[in-house]
Amino acid sequence: FKAYCTRVGSGPFPTELFDATGEKLREVGHEFGAVTGRPRRCGWLDLVALRYAVIIDGVTDLIMMKADCLDSFDIIKVCTSYRVDGRETLELPFDISQPVEPVYTEFKGWKCDLSGIRREEDLPVEFREYIAFMEKYLGVPVKIISLGPDREATIFR
C-alpha cells in the first residue's frame, strides 16, 4: 500500500484532498497518468478501507511504499473512522452513495529525508510511531518499507 491514497477516475474517495495538501502529495509522489499525464486524485491514507482489504483478502503482512513522499509534511493524517448520517463507524459502509466524512488521527511529521535511511533503528521516532499505530489498527505487521525510488531504499523488518 502507498503511504497515502490515490484514485484514477470517478467514484468514492472519502479522504480525497481538494487543497494545497492534495496538490503537494500529487507533486512529491509524481501522481500523474503515465499515458495521459492526467493528475491522479490524492488523499490521506484510509485505514478503514485498508483494514477491510486486510480482513477480506486474508493479508498477513504488509509492504508500505512511498513513505518518503510524506517527509515534508508538518502534520500527517490517517482516516481511522467515518461519520455517516451523523454517526461514527469503524466499518466500511456498504452503501457508499451517501456522503462519508473521514475522521482523522493526526501525527507529527518527521520532517526529514527518509530516502537515505537503511536501518530501522535510524528511522525518526515520529515515523516509527506512525508505523506502530498502523500495525496496531490493522492487526498485521508492516514487513517492508520503501523509503525512496532506489532499490536500496528499502527496510526489511
Residue boundaries of the structural domains of the chain? 5-156
pLDDT above 80 (res 62): yes
pTM listed for this prediction: 0.92
Would you give the DSSP letter of residue 54? H
Task: Compute the distance between CA of residue 157 and CA of residue 154 in angstroms, rounded to an integer.
Answer: 10
Note the pLDDT tens digit of each residue in 64-93: 999 999 999 999 999 999 999 899 999 988
Task: Compute the distance between CA of residue 87 and CA of residue 36 in angstroms, rounded to an integer.
Answer: 40
Task: Compute the distance between CA of residue 100 and CA of residue 71 in angstroms, rounded to an integer.
Answer: 28
Which pLDDT score is estimated for 97? 72
Classify domain 5-156 at the CATH class level.
alpha beta
Task: Compute the distance between CA of residue 84 and CA of residue 11 in angstroms, rounded to an integer.
Answer: 17
Note the pLDDT tens digit of each residue in 107-138: 999 999 999 999 999 999 999 999 999 999 99
